[in-house]
Amino acid sequence: MAKVSKTDAEWRAQLNETQYRVTRHAHTEPPFSGIYWDTTTDGTYRCICCATPLFVSTTKFDAGCGWPSFWQAIPGAVIERRDTTHGMIRTEILCAACDAHLGHVFPDGPGPDGLRYCVNSASINLEPKSG
């Protein structure tokens, strides 16, 4: 996968303030505030920064946490990094193409691997399935 690299000024010009803070500075939007936390539309969720496909709607589920949750990412689309901020040890998830912060992954999901990818709505864009 080709890496996408832009200057801070280029990211600021492309993204709104919330998208910029979440994706480029690892902020978190408040629970139940993002546009996709309860969306059930079929389609593909893409990175808001570079449009890389990250998740498909068939893996989305209601975790009750207030953020879009998926039990699986598209293979190779997401990378993981240890996160020790806020006095916790968590696993941060980032877009493999542009290093945008997406959220965190937790070992309490329903899928075959038991994972829950907890994603900020501000970091993704839903491309509805056509037809």
Q: How many CB atoms lie within 10 A of CB 102?
A: 30
Name the active-site residue from 94, 118, 122, 126: 118
In angstroms and rounded to an integer, the radius of gyration of the C-alpha atoms of the chain is: 14
Q: How far, CA to CA in Å, does 62 sit from each of 6, 45, 95?
A: 34, 16, 22
Measured in degrees and rounded to the nearest 5, phi and psi for residue 57 equal -65, -25
Residue 49 known to bind ligand: no
- Both tokens of 72, joined, read 């699986």
Residue 95 known to bind ligand: yes
Identify whether 118 is a catalytic site residue. yes
CA separation for the pair 14, 20 (Å, rounded): 9
Residue 65 known to bind ligand: no
Q: Which residues does the annotation mark as catalytic?
A: 118
Q: Which segments are annotated as binding site for Zn(2+)? A: 47, 50, 95, 98
